[in-house]
Chains A and B, each alone.
Chain A
Amino acid sequence: MKQIVTLLCLGFFVSVPMWLTDPYLLNALITTGIFIIGAMSLNLLLGFTGQLSLGHIAFFGIGAYVSALTSLGFDVPIYGDFHIVHVPWPPIAGFFLAILISGFCGYLVGRLSFSVRGAYFVIVTISFAEVVRLVALNWVELTQGPLALTNIPSITIGLPGLGYLVLKTKFHNYYLVLAVATLSYFLISRLVHSHYGRAMRGLMENETLAVAVGIDVTRTLTLAAVISAAIAGAAGSLYAHYIRIIDPDVFAFISTVTMVIMVVSGGKGSLAGPVVGGIIFGLLPVFLRPIMPPEAQWITYGVVLIVILFVMPRGIVPSLAAKLGLARAGGTRRASSAVSERTAEEHA
C-alpha cells in the first residue's frame, strides 16, 4: 500500500515536465526539489536521531562551493610565491567531491559536538555555519567573496557510445534533481529501516537504555551526521550547477530555517514528511506572488505554517496517516504477521 503510493507519486513527478511547459514554474520546481533534498537530509538528523542542526545550510553551501571550485579551477596564493593551482575538472567530479567533503565536514562536526548534545549541538552547528560563511566571504582569492563565483558550468554526463549530454536546460535539470532526490529518499529509507536506523531511534527515545543494550552513541550519531551532511552537499552541488552563480549568501541562516519548516510541517521522522512540507512551503511563495503584495505574502506564509502545526502538531504526513489508520503501517503489520506466523507454526 505504502509502496504503491510512493511509486504513484514518483510517476507523477516524472510526468510533470511533459505537461508543464511554463519555465518559471519549472524553475520553481527545480529549486524546491533541491531544497527538498536538503530537508530530507536534515530530517535524518532531526527526525530520526532527535538532533537539531541549525547550521545545516553549511553542508549545502560547502557542497556548492566545492563543486563550483572543482569545475572552475582556482589559483590561490598561500605563502610568498607558493600557490595552489587547480585546473578545472569536469563538473560531475565536483558533484562527487562535494558529497565527500561535505560528508567529511559532517564527520568533524559530529565528532566534536556529539559529546555535547541538545542545545549545545544547536549552538555548535549555528557557529559552524557562520564560520564557514565568513570564510567564504573573506577568502576572496579562493571564493571571490561577495563578487560571487560566476559562469559555473552545467553538469555534463558522459554516455557511453552517445557522446556527452550537457544538462543545461530546465528540462534536464528537473530530471537530474528528481533522480538525486529519489536516490536520497531510498537511501534514507533503507538506512532508517535497517538496524542502524533502529539504533538511532533507540538513542532518541531513551539513550540510557539504548546504551545498555549495546548501542554505540557516538558511532551511531556520527554516522547519521555524515550521511546527512553528504546528502546536503549533493543538494548544494546541484544548486551551484543549476543556478550557475553562487555567493556567500547561500549560507544564509534563513535557508536552514526554511528546511526546518519543511521538515517540521511535513512531519519529522517520517520519510515523506520533508517532501510534502517542501512542496507546500517551496511553492507557496510562487503561487502567492501574483495574487498579493509582498508584505501579505509573508504574513500568509506564517499563517499557513501556524495553521498546519495547530491542526496537525506532529506534521502533515504522520497526522494524516494516523487519521487514515495507516499509522506505522510498515513495522506494525510485519510485526503482527510475524507473530501470527510463529503461532501458526506452533499450532501446526
Chain B
Amino acid sequence: MAETVLSIEHVAVHFGGLVAISDMNFHVDKGEIVSLIGPNGAGKTTAFNVMTGFLTPTKGAVKYCGADLKGKKPHEIADLGLIRTFQRTSVFPNDTVYDNVLIGLHRQGKVGLVEAILGLPRARASEKAQRERAAELVRWIGLDARANDLAGSLSYGEQRLVGVALALAAQPKMLLLDEPVSGMNASETHTFVQLIRNIRDRGVTILLVEHDMPMVMSVSDRIVVLNYGRIIAEGPPETIRNDPAVIEAYLGQGAKQIVKQEAVHA
C-alpha cells in the first residue's frame, strides 16, 4: 500500500452557527494528483485553510506524514514542506518575477543574522546559490522573458505561474493548488496540466481545487467531491463522471432524470 502523505480525519469547521465542513474524511497518498471539487460554497477553500493552518478545525485532525498539525502556525506547516497557492492574491505584486521566486526561497537560505550582515563566505555562497536557483525556477516555469517585470503587471495566467514557481521555491513535498487555472485560456490550461504532471514527476504530491472540469478529469488520479461541507463521492475520474450524486450536486435533481433517460436511450 502506498504511503499516506496527508490525511483528513473527521474534520469539521463551524463559523458560529454555519457549518462550512460537517465531517470530512479523506487521504492523499505519496505521488498522487488528487482533485477536490464541488459547487461554489461547498467548503473547498475552507478545507485548504484548515490543512495549512490558516483556520483551526472545530473538530477532527489533519495529519501530515503521520504528524498531527494541530496548533501549528501556517509558517511552521510550510516549514514541513506542505505548501499552498492562493486563488486570487498569488504574487508579491511590487517585486519582479525573479524577486518573487527569491522571496519564495526563504526556507532554503537560512543563514545567521550576523553572517548575513557581515557578508561572511557562507552567507555569500548561500545567496549565490539562491540566485541561481531562482533563475533556474523562473526558466523552468517558462517565464524567463518576464523575469524582470513586476509580477503585478503580468496577466492572470502568468501570475498563476509565478504563484506556482513561488510555491515550488519553498521546496514542497506536497503542493496544494487553489484554482490554479482560473483566468487561463484553453491553451494556457493545457500547458499548465503538463506542468502539474512535471511537478508530480519531481516527486511532489499534489492536491488541487478546481472548477475547470475537463482539466480536472484529465489531470487527476483520484477525485474527491464535496457538497454542503460533506464528501459525497470519491474515486477515479471515470467513476466520478458517472456518479449520480455528483451529477445531482452539479446540475440539480431534474438533470439526473435527463441524464438517466439519455443513458437509457443511449
Query: What is the interface of chain A, defined by CB distance below 8 A to chain B?
Result: 187, 190-191, 194-196, 198-199, 201-202, 205-206, 208-217, 223, 328, 331-332, 334-336, 338-339, 341-343
Given known contacts A194-B116, A194-B123, A206 and B91 CB-to-CB distance under 8 angstroms: yes
CB contact under 8 A between A212 and B84, given known A331-B96, A338-B134, A338-B135:
yes
Q: B93 contacts the other chain (Cβ, under 8 Å)? A: yes
Q: Can you give 29 A-B contacts (C-beta < 8 A)?
A: A195-B105, A195-B106, A195-B109, A195-B130, A196-B116, A198-B102, A198-B106, A199-B103, A199-B106, A202-B92, A202-B106, A206-B89, A211-B74, A211-B75, A212-B78, A212-B85, A213-B107, A213-B167, A213-B170, A214-B78, A215-B103, A216-B73, A331-B96, A331-B98, A335-B98, A335-B99, A335-B147, A339-B98, A342-B139
Q: Does B111 count as interface, using CB distance less than 8 angstroms?
A: yes
A205 close to B94 (CB less than 8 A): yes
Q: Is the interface of A mostly helix, strand, loop or mixed?
A: helix
Complex: A1 Cα to B104 Cα, angstroms: 28
The reply to whether B98 and A213 form a contact with Cβ atoms under 8 Å apart is no
- Using A194-B116, A195-B110, A201-B92 as known contacts, list a sample of 17 further A-B pairs with CB atoms less than 8 Å apart, ordered by residue number in A: A196-B113, A201-B99, A201-B103, A202-B92, A206-B92, A209-B92, A211-B75, A212-B52, A213-B78, A214-B83, A214-B106, A215-B106, A331-B98, A331-B99, A332-B96, A335-B99, A336-B147
Contacts of B119 in A (CB 8 A): 190
Residue ID in chain A nearest B135 by CB atoms: A338
Find chain A residues with CB under 8 A from B98 CB: 331-332, 335, 338-339
Shortest beta-carbon distance from B94 to chain A in Å: 6
**A209 interface neighbour in B96, B134, B144, B166, Cβ under 8 Å:** B166
Interface residues of B (CB under 8 A from A): 52, 54, 73-75, 78-79, 83-86, 89-96, 98-99, 102-107, 109-111, 113, 116-119, 123, 127, 130-132, 134-136, 138-139, 144, 147-148, 163, 166-167, 169-170
Shortest beta-carbon distance from A41 to chain B in Å: 15
CB contacts (< 8 Å) of B83 on chain A: these are 212-214
Q: Which 5 A-B pairs have the closest CB atoms?
A: A214-B78, A335-B98, A194-B116, A338-B135, A195-B109
Within the complex, the shortest CB–CB distance from B142 to chain A, in Å, comes to: 12
Q: Which of B85, B99, B104, B148 contacts A336 (CB 8 A)?
A: B148
Q: Contacts of B102 on A, CB cut-off 8 Å? A: 195, 198
Per the bound structure, the CA–CA distance linking A195 and B139 in Å amounts to 21
A343 CB contacts on chain B under 8 angstroms: 139, 144
Decide: A328 and B96 in contact? CB cutoff 8 A: yes
Contacts of A223 in B (CB 8 A): 113
* Residues of chain B lying within 8 A (CB to CB) of residue A196: 113, 116
B93 partner, pick from A195, A205, A211, beta carbons under 8 A: A205
Q: Are B166 and A339 in contact (CB under 8 A)?
A: no
B128 to chain A, nearest CB (A): 9
Q: How far does the alpha carbon of A206 sit from the alpha carbon of B166 in the complex, in Å?
A: 13
Chain B residues contacting A328 (CB-CB under 8 Å) are: 96
Whether A217 contacts B139 by the Cβ 8 Å rule is no
Partner of A198 from the list B93, B99, B138 (CB cut-off 8 Å) is: B99
A217 to B54 CA separation, bound complex (whole angstroms): 13
**Residue on B with the closest CB to A200?**
B103
Docked complex Cα distance between A211 and B113 (Å): 20
Question: Closest Cβ of chain A: how far from B131's Cβ, in Å?
Answer: 5
